[in-house]
Structure 1
Amino acid sequence: MQKSSSPIPIIIPLIIGVIALSFSSIFIKWSTSPASVQGMYRLLFTVLLMLPFGIRRISEFRRISIKNWLLLGLSGFFLALHFLLWMGSLKYTTVASSTIILALEPVFIWFGAYFVFKERISVFAKLGMLIAIVGAGLIGWGDIGVSSTNLYGDLLSFIGTVAVAVHMLLGQKLLSQVSPYVYNLSVFSSAIVVFALYNLSLGVSFTNYDNKEWGIFFLLAIVPTVFGHMLFNWLLQYISATTVSMSILGEPVGASLLAVFLLQEKISAVQMSGGLLAIAGMILFMKVTHSNNNHESLLDS
């Protein structure tokens, strides 16, 4: 699938997005409210911030086909499922363990992109992916599975990672037909509905939270959602979902380092080595795929 050229160097939004996402697990750990409430208000505040910029885009919504409306709703459902499971996993395990499972995301996306979009990557790109995943695995090696509680958290994160992979693949398809603004607003809104129905069905309170919690909800909206997820959704216009997900491998590294300073969680020499490996693998993957994309563009021109 041919991508258009980005107006700014891809590396800039990728770095900003990774740093922003790294703060997500920290904010979630600081909160004592249910994951379903955190996810709902995280997206609700984001949508409220987006609305003033959509007045001139009403005609775009009218042109969306019924099929694409259904796909947008499905993408929102899987985004809500990802937030619910992954954010919930942080209640049971450490930042390193939960974010490390996200390292499997590019594997799921690559398999999906292979069958759906017929995307292929070179042997060196696969090697970079493998190095990054092994490195990310080392980050959580000393923590994963040390107890039944941690195992439950790991399982939640794993299923949540499958969900976000489906969400990303749907986004890659939809963003070839709708603008990033329309996509984000539609998907976030449908995810909010999913969360609201979930909370109503379980009798979870919508309002019984202190000022600290509301502050965390707002931070979750601004930092990892606007400067993280929205930025990565925007990037899907210019690079593949597989490449975007590979850059997200930087999140376990950043989140684990932040957890050391802000949550006093331990990080071992093995985990630090894993972080360096993950970064090396990401660089190899990005360099190879970028070179291949440039070569394809020259052949097509």
Structure 2
Amino acid sequence: MNVRSSAQVAVPTAAALTVAVLAVSSSAPLIAFAAAPALAIAFWRNSLASLVLTPIALGPRRAEASRAVRGPAGMFCVLAGVALAAHFATWMPSVQLGSVATATALVATQPVWQGLIAAAQGRRPSTAGWMGIGLAVAGAAWATGADLGVSSQAVFADVLALLGALAAAVYTALGERARTELSTTTYTWICYGTCAVLLLAVCLAFGVDLAGYDGRTWAAILALVAGAQLLGHSMFNYALERTSATTISMLILLEVPGAAFLAWWWLGQTPRAESLPGLFLLVAGVAVFILGQASFKLIRR
């Protein structure tokens, strides 16, 4: 590939990654801004995204969707949807109960949980990977400990965010298995649909209001669907064909300062000084883990 063609590929990819990072960075501030229960926001976010994908899944992807429903790949899609529902049911309330900056940083520990899942499957992290896990856990403990002096609600929000990260790791592991046989559209359509059905059941069981919101809340929900749910993930998937998963994982970490900046600029949420060292340590640990795993894979090849 010559220099000109390389540049032609690099520019759209860089633009896609920029859009994706900005889109996912808006997620937590929009959740905190919306005057609606977190579970209801999660339901609408997934159900509307699934609705948008339906014409494609039942049109050009109809044969694939039909095979998926009848085959084992469909089971992994459904299980991924269950894990995604658990992720949204824990992380999204954490954003409304606590700090946007802390919740986003704690949910960014997903790669660390992913590494522990891989270790349980016999794919042990490298030495640098274990160092990253240690740093991330220490940072999470520091940030959570700083919230002990704030309120029990803040600590509860931290625990929910960590559970959300664990659920996201399980969701990704199951999705990785499903994606070996299915396209992104078919996989996400089944996964989002399953997630929406489960969240609807939870909302109805606990009497969560699903309507009656003001205009700004509906606008925030639609922005979540168009931004973080569809545009952010779609752009990352587009870029994944042209850049490494490690690069994308590193760029996703930019969601932490991005969300913190938006929460400060838009919502007036200034990160607590006591938690900042822990948040920085946490992000550094995740970065060390990802880079360590990438180096380990290169050495083994």
After superposition, the Cα gap between the structure-2 partners of 1:101 and 1:277, relative to the gap in structure 1 and judged at 3 Å, is closer
Q: How does 1:22-41 map to 2 (within 5 A)?
A: 22-41=25-44
Aligned partner letter, 1:43:
N
Of 49, 53, 57 in structure 1, the residue corresponding to residue 56 of structure 2 is 53
Alpha-carbon shift at residue 179 of structure 1 (Å): 1.1
In structure 2, how many angstroms separate the alpha carbons of the residues matched to 1:137 and 1:263? 26
Q: How does 1:1-301 map to 2 (within 5 A)?
A: 15-54=18-57, 55-64=59-68, 65-116=70-121, 118-128=122-132, 130-131=134-135, 142-143=146-147, 146-232=150-236, 247-267=251-271, 285-290=289-294, 293=297
After superposition, the Cα gap between the structure-2 partners of 1:18 and 1:96, relative to the gap in structure 1 and judged at 3 Å, is same
Q: Which secondary structure state, in structure 1, belongs to the residue aligned with residue 220 of structure 2?
A: helix
After superposition, the Cα gap between the structure-2 partners of 1:128 and 1:161, relative to the gap in structure 1 and judged at 3 Å, is closer
After superposition, the Cα gap between the structure-2 partners of 1:205 and 1:279, relative to the gap in structure 1 and judged at 3 Å, is closer
Preserved CA contact (<8 Å) 1:105 1:161: yes
Preserved CA contact (<8 Å) 2:37 2:209: no
After superposition, the Cα gap between the structure-2 partners of 1:22 and 1:138, relative to the gap in structure 1 and judged at 3 Å, is farther
After superposition, the Cα gap between the structure-2 partners of 1:74 and 1:18, relative to the gap in structure 1 and judged at 3 Å, is same
Alpha-carbon shift at residue 83 of structure 1 (Å): 0.9
In structure 2, how many angstroms separate the alpha carbons of the residues matched to 1:289 and 1:12? 26
Paired position in structure 2 for 1:4:
none
Q: TM-score, normalised by structure 2?
A: 0.80
Preserved CA contact (<8 Å) 1:95 1:255: yes
Moved more, 50-59 or 272-281: 272-281
Aligned partner letter, 1:47:
S
Unaligned runs of 5+ in 1: 1-6
Preserved CA contact (<8 Å) 2:84 2:168: yes
Aligned partner letter, 2:28:
S
Moved more, 225-234 or 45-54: 225-234
In structure 2, how many angstroms separate the alpha carbons of the residues matched to 1:183 and 1:8? 27
Q: How many residues align?
A: 289
Moved more, 203-212 or 32-41: 203-212
Q: Deviations over 1:75-94 (max 9, x none)?
A: 11111121121111122211
Preserved CA contact (<8 Å) 2:77 2:178: yes
Q: Deviations over 1:101-135 (max 9, x none)?
A: 2133222111112223x434433344455556656
Q: TM-score, normalised by structure 1?
A: 0.80
Alpha-carbon shift at residue 30 of structure 1 (Å): 0.8
After superposition, the Cα gap between the structure-2 partners of 1:228 and 1:137, relative to the gap in structure 1 and judged at 3 Å, is farther
After superposition, the Cα gap between the structure-2 partners of 1:156 and 1:125, relative to the gap in structure 1 and judged at 3 Å, is closer
Give the % identical residues: 29
In structure 1, how many angstroms separate the alpha carbons of the residues matched to 2:192 and 2:275? 34
Aligned partner letter, 1:215:
A
RMSD, aligned CA: 3.4
Unaligned runs of 5+ in 2: 1-8
In structure 1, how many angstroms separate the alpha carbons of the residues matched to 2:134 and 2:35? 36
In structure 1, how many angstroms separate the alpha carbons of the residues matched to 2:239 and 2:134? 23
After superposition, the Cα gap between the structure-2 partners of 1:206 and 1:155, relative to the gap in structure 1 and judged at 3 Å, is same
In structure 1, how many angstroms separate the alpha carbons of the residues matched to 2:171 and 2:192? 11
After superposition, the Cα gap between the structure-2 partners of 1:229 and 1:140, relative to the gap in structure 1 and judged at 3 Å, is farther
After superposition, the Cα gap between the structure-2 partners of 1:8 and 1:51, relative to the gap in structure 1 and judged at 3 Å, is farther
Q: Which secondary structure state, in structure 2, belongs to the residue aligned with residue 177 of structure 1?
A: coil
Preserved CA contact (<8 Å) 1:88 1:156: yes
Alpha-carbon shift at residue 147 of structure 1 (Å): 0.7
